[in-house]
Amino acid sequence: MGYSDFPFVARKGRDGRRFPGHHELLLYLKDFADHFRVRELIRFNTRVDYVGMVDFAKFGKNCRWVVRSRGRKDEKVSEEVFDAVVVATGHYSQPTLPNITGMFLSLSGTFPGCFSP
């Protein structure tokens, strides 16, 4: 797991699983933001009320996005124009697990096949 330009590497005292839990993923994203110096561009505790494409007549052929947001603490409304928008709604914060009979039973013994990456 990880971005191609910032691989997920197990660190001392951290979860090195291929599919880590929420906490380790949060730490990875913080490491990524710090490494690429983008954390200061992220606005936390902000509710986005509207995202829409800006009229082409204003910017020519380049696509721009208008974002109307409101601070969760002060309710201050702002409207800004951006080149790109990242949608991070937390939609995948709860995993969707298939309903497979016996999936969560404890296994013992050996696997008759082989595993290869």
Q: Tens digit of pLDDT for each residue in 47-66? A: 899 999 987 676 667 788 99
The residue-averaged pLDDT of 102-111 equals 66
Predicted confidence (pLDDT) at residue 96 exceeds the cutoff of 70: no
Calpha distance 94→32 (Å, rounded): 22
Q: What pLDDT was estimated at residue 110?
A: 66
Predicted confidence (pLDDT) at residue 78 exceeds the cutoff of 80: yes
Segment (H or E) for 31: helix 22-35
Q: What is the pTM of this model?
A: 0.54
Calpha distance 47→75 (Å, rounded): 9
Q: What pLDDT was estimated at residue 115?
A: 56
